[in-house]
Structure 1
Amino acid sequence: MLKNYFKIAIAVLKRRKFFTFISLFGISFSLTIIMVLTAFSDHLVDSSYPDAHRSRNLYISMMRLTGEKHGFSQNGPPSFYFLDHYVKKMKTPEKVAITSFHQPTNTYINNKKLTIDQKFTDDTFWEVLDFEFLEGKPYTRQQIDNAERVAVISENVRRKYFGDEPSVTGRYIETDNIRYRVSGVVKSVPITQFATYGDMYLPHTLGKRDPQDKGLNGDYFAILQGKDASSLPAMAAEYDDIIRRLPIDTSRYDKISSRADKYVASYTRLFIGNQDDSGLNRLLLYVGLVLLFFLLLPTLNLVNINTSRIMERSSEIAVRKAFGASSGTLALQFIVENLILTVIGGLIGVVLSFIVLAIWNNSGALEDVYLYLNYKVLIISLLVCLVFGLMSGVYPAWRMSRLHVVTALKTY
């Protein structure tokens, strides 16, 4: 029976090639968009190099100081002083790493401008994160305390600055008219990994801002690493207690707000949330609305096209009903035909997704950002195909099953 349904479906698809093209294009294009977005989201959310232990980490990236009585408000990353003197003393995390957000600097190589993003860190940064050292090693605590001008550079910077030289450890690199001795080279990190990305990693004692500045706001953030995922609530609770007990300069402000978040929540709190709301639920709502839009648009299109095709097949329906075919049998046939159409569109969408991702990965649009389809994305795609087939096939099938023989023959 399914073989016959397949033959009929192919014959119907060939009958009106333009409508078939519109149907397949709508399905495959929507699936391609969804799968590419899912692959990009997977790249952002899942634990990846070098932040491989993200499931047991919390991130402190923002601090808000408000003084309603004085009309004062200050929102930004915490200072190194605050993180070093308060967060470093926490008991529940196994390790606490402190690092700055990346800051661009300029240098010139062969009369060409090269932008190098610097990141200032402590020594624990190299213990919490699993960087792959291609040569050399990270700077030590003693080198940090001595404010030695040493640097760990990325593979990309080594290639752009030093060319094809096989080893650059011990060599000097200059940016913003300051020379640094290279202590190691790490595999490059994509810029989408804000907690770990950098072209050049430097001791925090070389930062332009005084590390002993006792202000609470600065340009650093912390990564709290627990023993396992079960320790996250205890770490978050201890940090909340630190914020509650933090001394307040009542002459300027009366409230301090800051949270230790999971990785995604630290993103959303930065860009669409606040200290009272991480913005994660809002992000999920936005993503859901986007996916719903890409689902409904081709589905409504298919419903209209399939309903029009019913009238073209009214004579076929009438003859089959006259020979005893039940409404249920006809409805099932039409749903199966529509599922075959959506599966074909889904396969085209998968192929298009591979092509789009291959073009992206070879384009270098975002350096070191490589997107891949995985089993999760493929399963989502198959489920989407099923939803397409059911949503766009049930109503037309119901309309077909209710056609009376006499009415259909008169229409014919």
Structure 2
Amino acid sequence: MLKNYFKIAIAVLRRRKFFTFISLFGISFTLTILLVMTAFIDKVVNDNYPDKKRDRSLYISHIELRGKESMNSSGLSYSYISRFVNKMKTPVKIAVSSGFGSTNTYVNNRKIVINYKYANAAFWEVLDFEFVEGKPISRQQTDNAERVTVISEDMKKEYFGDDNSPAVGKYIEADNIKYRVCGVVKSLPITSYTLYSDIYLPITTSKTKLDADKGYMGNYSAIVLAENSSDVPKMKKEYDNIVAKLPIPGKEWDHLYSHADTYIEGYVRTGNEKSSGMVYAFTAITLFALFVMLLPTLNLVNVNITRIMERSSEIGVRKAFGASSKTLVYQFIVENLILTFLGGIIGVVLSVVVMYFINDAELIANLNLSLNFTVLAYALFTCMFFGLLSGVYPAWRMSKLNIVLALKA
């Protein structure tokens, strides 16, 4: 039966090539947009380089002070981390790093923008950076405030050129200070904004005195690492208890919020306690997907109804010979699913081509999109949903055609 439906579907598609083109274009174009978007989200969410211990990690990066008329949200001060986060008993290691800053330097009269980040020694123990050359900054080098640095592959190429000679032992200048390169790591995309940098410096070499600001807010964040994943809820609860006991600074504030988040929670946190980042992200993605699918779906519904009207005599004959409405509806939905899957195959091919050009153009450096099994699963689900959504109403309209009127058409 399905084989016959497939033959009929192919014959119908070949009969009206223009309508077929419109249908396939709408399906494939829509699917391409959704697959590229899904590949981007999958890359950002599931790429665990260099924080491969996410199942044991919590991220503390924001603190919010809220009053009756205003609110203030920021990163953490080093003093706050030192006085409160470092006092936690559950974590086995606590990585501390600053947000990345930028400075200009000149090499052979060529201006280079360098993004730099300060990090403590545990930063290199909690995170699993892939070293192309050399080794991480040691605890002793950090304690001694040595002017050493770990740089990214991209910065090595930009600063030292493509001669493939080792960068370890050479010096790189940032903010009018020379640092000796002790390691080179695989580069990160800027979408990993909490960890991204061109060069990483010992936290003790920061130009600002670390404990000078006794306030809560600043430019630092922490990753707390548990012994095993089962300790993560305990670690989260411990931090919540610490925050609950913090004195609120200033009379203009009456609430203080800070959280030890999982990676996803931390990534989408808005900085506003009353606005859930997870809800915002899910709502935005859902609305975008619905908007992208709505117009092609309506277009395909109209095309399908037009095809039904053209086939009214065929439908009338089949009804006259005893075909039930259920059989006709089933046949048309199967035909529409076949059409949708053909468009889906074209969409997958187009997605691969688009991802190739996006990666080749390096629109986001070091963010290489790929069509993996997760993305393909979304593609199959989208094809099925798209086919059913655009085929049910036209199929129902077809089943209601009057035999006599259909034969006269």
Matched, 1:264 2:264: yes
Instruction: Find the aligned partners of 1:11 and 1:344 in 2 and give their Cα distance.
Output: 14
In the alignment, what sits opposite 2:80? Answer: 82
Query: What do residues 64-112 of structure 1 show as CA deviations (whole Å, max 9, x unaligned)?
Result: 23455xx775321001111122211211122110001111111122222
How far apart, in 2, do the equivalents of 1:81 and 1:16 lie? 72
> Are 1:265 and 1:278, in contact at CA under 8 Å, matched by a contact in 2?
no
Q: Structure 1: which amino acid aligns with 2:290?
A: L
For residues 174 and 355 of structure 1, the distance between their equivalents in structure 2, rounded to whole angstroms, comes to 40
Q: 1:372 to 1:87 in 2, by over 3 A?
A: same
The whole-number CA distance in structure 2 between the counterparts of 1:396 and 1:381 is: 23
Equivalent residue, structure 1, for 2:11: 11
TM-score by length of structure 1 reads 0.94
Q: What letter corresponds to residue 204 of structure 2 in structure 1?
A: T
Deviations along 1:351-407, one digit per CA (max 9) or x if unpaired, are 011111111111111111111111111111111111111111121112112212211
Residues 11-59 of structure 1 show CA distances to partners (whole Å, capped at 9, x for unaligned) of 2112222221111111111111111111111111114211111222111
Contact kept, 8 Å, 1:151 with 1:203, in 2: the verdict is yes
Correspondence 1:61-72 to 2 at 5 A = 61-66=61-66, 68=68
Aligned residues: 407
CA deviation after TM superposition for structure 1 residue 194, in Å? 1.4
> Hey, what's the Cα distance between the residues in 2 that align with 1:323 and 1:125?
76
SS in 2 for 1:77: strand
Assess, with a 3 A threshold, how the Cα gap between structure 1 residues 394 and 178 changes in structure 2: closer, same or farther: same
**1:391-410 map, 5 Å:** 391-410=389-408
Alignment of 1:295-334 (within 5 A): 295-334=293-332
SS in 2 for 1:104: strand
Within 2, Cα distance between the matches of 1:224 and 1:329?
A: 60
Q: Counterparts of 1:409 and 1:292 in 2: how far apart (Å)?
A: 39
Cα contact 1:83–1:222 (8 A) shared by 2:
yes
Q: For 1:369, which of 367, 370, 382 is the aligned residue?
A: 367
CA distance in structure 1 between the aligned counterparts of 2:401 and 2:193, rounded to whole angstroms: 60
Deviation at 1:197, TM superposition (A): 0.9
* 1:259–1:275 contact (8 Å) kept in structure 2: no
- Aligned match of 2:346: 348
- CA gap 1:67/1:8 in 2 versus in 1, 3 angstroms: closer
Alignment of 1:60-139 (within 5 A): 60-66=60-66, 68=68, 73-139=71-137
**Structure 1 CA distance, aligned partners of 2:308 and 2:288?**
31
Work out the CA distance in 2 between the residues paired with 1:238 and 1:275. Answer: 20
SS of equivalent residue, structure 2 residue 95: strand
The alignment partner of 1:184 has SS state of strand
1:182 equivalent in structure 2: 181
Partners in 2 of 1:244 and 1:290 — Cα distance?
38
Separation in structure 2 between the aligned mates of residue 406 and residue 66 of structure 1, nearest angstrom? 72
TM-score by length of 2: 0.95
What is the CA–CA distance in structure 1 between the aligned matches of 2:268 and 2:216, rounded to whole Å?
Answer: 22
Aligned-residue offset at 1:165:
3.8
What fraction of aligned residue pairs are identical, expressed as a percent?
Answer: 56
Aligned to 2:207: 208
Which is further off, 214-223 or 339-348?
Answer: 214-223
Contact 2:73 2:272 in 1 (8 A): no
Which residue does the alignment assign to 2:357?
359
Distance 1:146 1:216 in 2: 26
Aligned to 1:37, what secondary structure does the other structure show? Answer: helix
State how far apart, in whole Å, the 2-side matches of 1:337 and 1:67 are: 60
Q: In structure 1, give the amino acid aligned to 2:44.
A: L
Separation in structure 2 between the aligned mates of residue 248 and residue 3 of structure 1, nearest angstrom:
72
Q: Does the 8 A contact of 1:47 with 1:54 survive in 2?
A: no
Superposed CA RMSD in Å reads 1.8
Looking at structure 1, the residues matched to 229 and 37 of structure 2 have their Cα atoms a distance apart, in angstroms, of 27
Asked if structure 2 preserves the Cα contact closer than 8 Å seen for 1:79 and 1:219, the reply is: yes
- Trace 1:144-293 onto structure 2 (pairs within 5 A): 144-163=142-161, 164-213=163-212, 214-250=214-250, 253-269=253-269, 272-293=270-291
**Structure 1 contact 97–125 (Cα < 8 Å) conserved:** yes
Unpaired segments ≥5 residues, structure 1:
none
CA change 1:255–1:210 in 2 (3 A) is farther
